[in-house]
């Protein structure tokens, strides 16, 4: 049996099916998603409770997660935050909350995309395939062991892991990781917003995606002695203010 290769859009008999966790307490929605994702070579695990999904995450690593915000045991935003403590797995939010502030909050918590209910399942499949392609744009294992070191921090591109000088680890979303690496590859240079949109993971669903992710990265990198490593250059773009050593 062959599976459609989500990385290229073609068929590859050796391709491993993408594993997607679906966390939603509405059985009809889960069934609809499973049925529409199967023809694209995606295997799924369905959970009605956030705690069950978190337990499964300790045993198995999915390629992406679809998370409903209205869960019976844990609020979806809290679940996203818990997932981000453990993994950089791409996250797509499913929610009946359609206000732009909810979309922004979802991205600020670490989601990669946001779809409002009711939705066309074909759109969800297209978005999850786009997320999978973006997350697969770099090898699962880094080509080299190079890490970026700056101002006491260490960033490992292969795992999207950001480590503070105290050893505390934080996992970035795919969009955050691409954006941070673009900045780290060009320290002390002004990068335009258009450049960062292109190299930091374009999100057509939300024009403010770069601004939201810059804000989130700033919060993660903020320390009393270094309050602003990412500077806004008004009218031009953003600049990473520290020296970066790749090795």
CA gap 132, 112 in Å, rounded: 11
What's the average model confidence in pLDDT over 15-26?
88
CA angle 170, 171, 173 (to 5 degrees): 135
Break the chain down into helix, strand, coil percent, rounded to 5.
35, 25, 40
List 45's β-bridge partners, or say none: 21
Tell me which residue of 149, 153, 148 sits closest to 220, measured CA to CA: 153
Residue 243 has pLDDT above 80, yes or no: yes
The pair phi, psi for residue 206, each rounded to 5°, is -150, 110
Instruction: Convert the pLDDT of each residue in 200-238 to its tens digit.
Output: 554 544 445 788 888 888 888 887 777 789 999 988 889
CB atoms within 10 A of CB 236: 11
Q: Output 164 or 138, whichever has higher pLDDT.
A: 164
Instruction: Convert the pLDDT of each residue in 74-98 to its tens digit.
Output: 988 899 989 988 888 999 998 887 6
29 Cβ contact partners less than 8 Å away, ≥ 6 residues apart: 68, 94, 117
pLDDT above 90 coverage of the chain, percent: 40
Residue 101 has pLDDT above 80, yes or no: no
Q: Output 46 or 247, whichever has higher pLDDT.
A: 46
What radius of gyration do the chain's Cα atoms show? Answer: 18
CA gap 23, 30 in Å, rounded: 8
Q: Is 91 exposed, middle or buried (0-12, 13-18, 19+ CB in 10 A)?
A: buried
Residue 199 has pLDDT above 70, yes or no: no
pLDDT above 70 coverage of the chain, percent: 84
CA angle 145, 146, 150 (to 5 degrees): 140
CA angle 34, 20, 141 (to 5 degrees): 155
Please tell me the predicted confidence (pLDDT) of residue 133.
Answer: 84
Instruction: Convert the pLDDT of each residue in 146-175 to its tens digit.
Output: 899 999 999 998 888 899 888 888 888 878
């Amino acid at each position: 049996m062959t599976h459609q290769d989500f990385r290229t859009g073609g068929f590859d008999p050796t391709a491993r099916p993408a594993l997607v966790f679906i966390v939603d307490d509405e059985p009809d929605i889960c069934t609809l998603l499973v049925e529409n994702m199967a023809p694209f070579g995606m295997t799924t695990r369905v959970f009605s409770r956030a705690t069950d999904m978190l337990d499964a995450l300790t045993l198995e690593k999915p390629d992406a997660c679809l998370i409903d915000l209205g869960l019976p045991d844990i609020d979806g935003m809290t679940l996203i935050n818990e997932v981000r403590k453990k993994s950089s797995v791409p996250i797509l939010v499913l929610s009946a909350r359609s206000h732009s502030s909810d979309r922004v909050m979802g991205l600020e918590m670490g989601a990669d995309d946001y779809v409002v209910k009711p939705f066309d399942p074909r759109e969800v499949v297209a978005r999850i395939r786009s997320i999978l392609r973006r997350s697969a744009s770099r090898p699962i294992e880094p080509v080299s062991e190079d890490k970026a070191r700056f101002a006491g921090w260490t960033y490992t591109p292969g795992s999207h892991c950001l480590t503070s000088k105290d050893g505390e680890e934080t996992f970035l979303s795919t969009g955050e990781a691409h954006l941070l690496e673009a900045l780290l590859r060009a320290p002390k240079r002004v990068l335009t917003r258009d450049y960062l949109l292109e190299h930091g993971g374009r999100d057509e669903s939300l024009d403010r995606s770069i601004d939201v992710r810059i804000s989130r990265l700033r919060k993660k990198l903020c320390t009393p002695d270094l309050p602003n490593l990412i500077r806004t250059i008004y009218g031009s773009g953003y600049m990473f203010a520290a020296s970066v050593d790749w090795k």
